[in-house]
Structure 1
């Protein structure tokens, strides 16, 4: 059994590497923003990868792209990252959450901290668990309605071109750099909750996870069990972070499965559990990790090679806009493109 644990380490190495890469990007971006706010010339360049934290803008860009408008030139990296996460999860079920998501990594680490401190993490009563899991779906439904239904294409284009959207990444940073008491309280609840309940944020509140979970239903590679060799030890079910009854099904088709392969690693019978398109075509555990990663990096690299990674907002424009970031021009009401009277729906909390 020990020989199978390297797949868990491999996934966690990638997870940790991407987390600290995200921290590095965030540090560069913070230095860049606050240099502009002081009116100084930044010593570092703006990292486009920070647009991964603009999922609402990316959803709008996705709709714009699918409507035939091409890749919108403001925050194109955000669209690339969103597409990478969706296609990665549509290949290996919801694998973005367990392999690359920095928030998912932090949530997993907090859960491990909880187990070290208390010997275990809590499992909420089934009724409360079901009710809380519905929150992420309600949030996803709201964001999809706000970006795909409430706006027509004209409003969508005006929002994407608006002064607000051009500096949405800066607004996002300042939201956390200058938090209100409510923001601090909510973040505190999420941190404590993640220590007490495994994957508290991911399981109950993350609309991004809900979205990639839907795409995971399309994935050909899912956790597959061979009932003929299964000993019914139930170790797979016990280690499943999504609390799925893996030992009872021949193929895991739940939107909650993140393709983490923890169940595969703990199974004492070789090839009883595997990540497979079918029982006849299983992948080696490490190959499943590499396949998921390859899809994501292929998408983002393709955007880079096509010249759709860095946005069109120039340093000179940022130097003008960032010092006045707190003006009414950079709200959803005041920040429409010049000459447009009808504002888009308010989505301040989304960024």
Structure 2
């Protein structure tokens, strides 16, 4: 219901309008409860005139969270400094890799030799290739010679996420950091976060698993080991990183619109991309389901204050769980920091690893997750499996011809050079 300047005004409203203009657009949000309606005040820091009344009983897609899943007011979680520093450093590294790759590929596209080398870390943007290289490694014991760094990064992500549940998303993923910041910005601006009701939230969350399931089926079941090997050594595989760069730079109108929707949507719906669409998140979520270390709660120490649930970005009822095994939990440990009782919540292993619990503090959990990734990636580098053997001269002529049919694929079938 919208009250505008037209029509009769309630008694006393003329006197109110005669005073200073309101500093905020004020909302009165009526949320239907099992009992009578409850009014939740709401405000936006802008300078309109008038009052807006919203009846959420008629707004079916989203409901404004006047309360968190735990029943308390929406809160901004305190973030573990070690985790945030790791996220920021990794994001800066990824940005630097992107800049270096751009400076490398543009001269090749223009027929010139670049002045910088190709950064192998760019292969981390090729998760499907990493999945194929993993299957090739398991079947043949051979490391992909075209994208060895991509295999190292992919294996590191999988291992850290199967040891500390889904920790890649909350520790190393740059998109995860941006999504966190956008969600916190939304709470700062409007004090609330929109959450789809369960009947819509659950189907939306299944989208990322459908996307991951399609690629997983194609790599692990539809293609034979021989087809995987042919694909990994094909002309297409040698320029796939350059083709991916060319797809996004310069971005098309569709790309800009989609990214804009995701960015704006992430301000009002926390972790919009990560929660509903990211296939990488689906993969590490499935692996995290079998993780050794997960968030655990000591029921004897718990006071049922629900502070943990109030700050959970995955919207999980942490205060009711003895062990958080949901595929949505990223081991961010926001709930651990929010808990007022020391030792009630922390990263825990099963009882068979009970002796490890003495040193599994929040910072140590971060060190374990990130350390595993560093060890695996560093091991590949030390062993000489980081750079490929493709020369700059070969890259130069292949990249200039990458739009020809030789550098394409249809359903995983690629042309083979004679």
- Structure 2-normalised TM-score? 0.77
Cα deviation, residue 40, structure 1? 2.1
Tell me which of 290, 299, 319 is aligned to 1:227.
Answer: 299
Larger radius of gyration between Structure 1 and Structure 2 = 2
How many pairs does the alignment contain? 335
**Residue aligned with 1:244, SS:** coil
**Secondary structure of the corresponding residue to residue 96 of structure 1:** helix
- Asked if 1:187 is matched to 2:259, the reply is yes
User: What corresponds to 1:48 in structure 2?
Assistant: 120
Map 1:77-116 → 2, pairs under 5 A: 77-116=149-188
Structural mapping, 1:124-139, within 5 Å = 124-139=196-211
Q: Among residues 237, 240, 247, which one is paired with 1:165 in the alignment?
A: 237
Structure 2: how far apart are the matches of 1:290 and 1:151?
Answer: 37
Checking the alignment, whether the CA contact within 8 Å between 2:78 and 2:334 is kept in structure 1 is no
Contact 2:158/2:284 (<8 A) preserved: yes
Q: Is the CA contact (8 Å cut-off) linking 1:213 and 1:255 kept in structure 2? A: yes
**Higher strand residue share:** 2
Greater displacement, 142-151 / 91-100: 142-151
2-side partners of 1:128 and 1:189: how far apart? 19
Deviations 1:110-130 (CA, angstroms, capped at 9, x unpaired): 112222222222111111110
Q: For 1:265 and 1:198, locate their aligned partners in 2 and report how far apart those are by CA, in whole Å.
A: 19
Q: 2:105 aligns with which of 33, 37, 40?
A: 33
CA contact (8 A) 2:78 2:338 kept: no
Measure the CA separation in 2 of the matches of 1:70 and 1:324: 29
Determine which structure has greater relative contact order: mean sequence separation of CA pairs < 8 Å that are 6+ residues apart, divided by chain length.
1
For residues 278 and 158 of structure 1, what CA distance do their matches in structure 2 show? 42
Residue 324 of structure 1: aligned partner: 401
Contact preservation (8 Å) 1:92, 1:222: yes
Note if contact 2:406-2:416 (Cα within 8 Å) is conserved in structure 1. Answer: no
**Which of 333, 338, 346 is matched with 1:266 structurally?**
338
Partners of 1:107 and 1:247 in 2: CA distance: 24
In 1, are the aligned partners of 2:304 and 2:319 still within 8 Å (CA)?
A: yes
Distance 1:40 1:161 in 2: 25
Paired residue for 2:54? none
Which structure 2 residues correspond to residues 298-313 of structure 1 after superposition, within 5 A?
298-313=375-390
The answer to whether the 8 Å contact 1:224/1:278 transfers is no
Corresponding residue to 1:287 among 364, 367, 371: 364
In structure 2, runs of 5+ residues without a counterpart are 1-76
- Secondary structure of the 2:295 match is strand
Deviation at 1:60, TM superposition (A): 0.7
Task: Check whether the contact 1:7–1:286 (CA below 8 A) recurs between aligned residues.
Answer: no
Task: Name structure 1 gaps, 5 residues minimum.
Answer: 340-351
Distance 2:387 2:415 in 1: 22
Q: Which structure dedicates a bigger proportion of its chain to helix? A: 1
Stretches (4+) displaced over 4 A: none
- 57-66 or 151-160, which moves further after superposition? 151-160
- Match of residue 297, structure 1, among 359, 367, 374: 374
In structure 1, C-alpha distance between the alignment counterparts of 2:78 and 2:305, rounded to whole Å: 21
**Partner Cα separation in structure 1 for residue 409 and residue 250 of structure 2:** 19
